[in-house]
Amino acid sequence: MAAEKVAFITGGNKGLGLETARQLGKLGITVVIGSRNLENGKAAAEKLKSDGVHAEAIRFDVLNPADYQAVYDYFDKHYGHLDILINNAGISKEAFGPNKTSTTSAEVLHDTFDTNFFGVIQITQTLLPLIRKSQAGRIVNLSSILGSNTLQATPGSPIYESKAFAYDASKAALNSFTVHLAHELKGTTIKVNSAHPGWVKTDMGSDAAPMEIPDGAKTSVRLATLPDDGPTGGYFHMDQTLPW
């Protein structure tokens, strides 16, 4: 009998993370959602269970150092491995609009990078020994098209006039992590990719966004369930490759 497949989704108690958990769960994958507030996480897991998904919730606050080891211990004790890591948790502390790079504060830069970049690296490095025990590990880093330096520098591109320096730079750095980790792991069965979900109606995306949450989760789900001959070290929206 095949080992039970299990996925960990950071920031999985609402929005894209919750929908990603739902869609993975519908494929028969056990989903564990990480939530800064455990009660919110448990409530989200109950919603998933009522939808027929095998779901669990654990506390994971990117800014709490003790939570990293606790997450490792949870998966090591209950499953002995981890098949899918979706680094979904992220923040933006800026307004998306006119370019204010010259006045972006050090505090905003540090806070944004702590969650969107350093936290992703730390949880990935912490859990990687368990992902190595999977027959086909998948790591999905939730990036954004706003992290594409190529498109940011190309007049006339869809994002050329949209500059939120701290957020954009954190996602560009995250893309670099994807490239470097995928290269290190290229001789293994683990695949590492960056996902641009699209502009989605979430707390961050606002009601002005054109995409609904179920469509926004599709790229993460696709990359989390890639076949053995699927890509690694890429940057995708749906099945479209984005320029770095």
Decide if 234 is inside a domain: yes
What pLDDT does 48 receive?
Answer: 97
Residue 29 CB partners (closer than 8 Å, separation 6+): 5, 6, 7, 83, 84
Residue 59 belongs to a domain: yes
Q: What pairing do the DSSP bridges indicate for beta strands 235-237 and 30-35? A: unpaired
Q: What is the CATH number of the domain that holds 171?
A: 3.40.50.720
With pLDDT > 70 as the criterion, what percentage of the chain qualifies? 93
Catalytic-labelled residue, pool 74, 79, 167, 235: 167
Looking at residue 204, what is its pLDDT? 52
Q: H or E segment at 80?
A: none
pLDDT of 157 higher than 70: yes
Going by their DSSP bridges, the two strands 30-35 and 6-10 should be labelled as: parallel
pLDDT at 211: 63
Tell me, yes or no, whether 133 lies in a domain. Answer: yes
Q: Is residue 1 part of a domain?
A: no
The pLDDT value recorded for residue 66 is 97
Catalytic residue at 72? no
The 10s digit of each residue's pLDDT in 97-128 is 789 999 999 999 999 999 999 999 999 999 99
| Digit-coded pLDDT (tens) for 56-87 | 999 999 999 999 999 999 999 999 999 999 99
Residue-averaged pLDDT of the chain: 93
The reported pLDDT for the residue numbered 201 is: 47
Task: Give the domain range for residue 209.
Answer: 6-241
d(CA 225, CA 204): 26
Reference 180, options 232, 105, 218; nearest CA is 232
The total of structural domains in the chain comes to 1
Residue with tokens 């929206």: 237
- pLDDT of 203 reads 54
Other beta carbons within 10 angstroms of residue 121's beta carbon come to 15
Is 63 in contact with 34 (CB distance < 8 Å)? no
Confidence of residue 95 (pLDDT cuts 50, 70, 90): confident
3-state helix, strand, coil in the chain (%, to 5): 45, 15, 40
| Residue 18: pLDDT over 80 | yes
Helical residues (DSSP H) of the chain, grouped into ranges:
15-26, 38-50, 65-78, 106-113, 119-131, 149-152, 165-184, 213-216, 218-224
pLDDT of the residue at 71? 98
Nearest to 184 by CA among 131, 225, 147, 146: 131
Q: Which of 181, 204, 210, 211 is nearest to 193 (CA)?
A: 181
Whether the per-residue pLDDT at 43 is higher than 90: the answer is: yes
The answer as to whether 140 is a domain residue is yes
Question: 101 burial class (0-12, 13-18, 19+ CB within 10 angstroms)?
Answer: exposed
Whether 120 is in a domain gets the answer yes
pLDDT value for 208: 55
Q: Are 26 and 2 in contact (CB under 8 A)?
A: no
Name residue, tokens 């594409």.
148
pLDDT in tens, 177-234: 999 999 999 999 999 999 999 865 455 545 555 567 788 899 999 999 999 999 999 9
Classified as helix, coil or strand, 15 is helix
Largest Cα–Cα separation, the chain: 58
State the pLDDT confidence band at 96, using cuts at 50, 70 and 90. confident
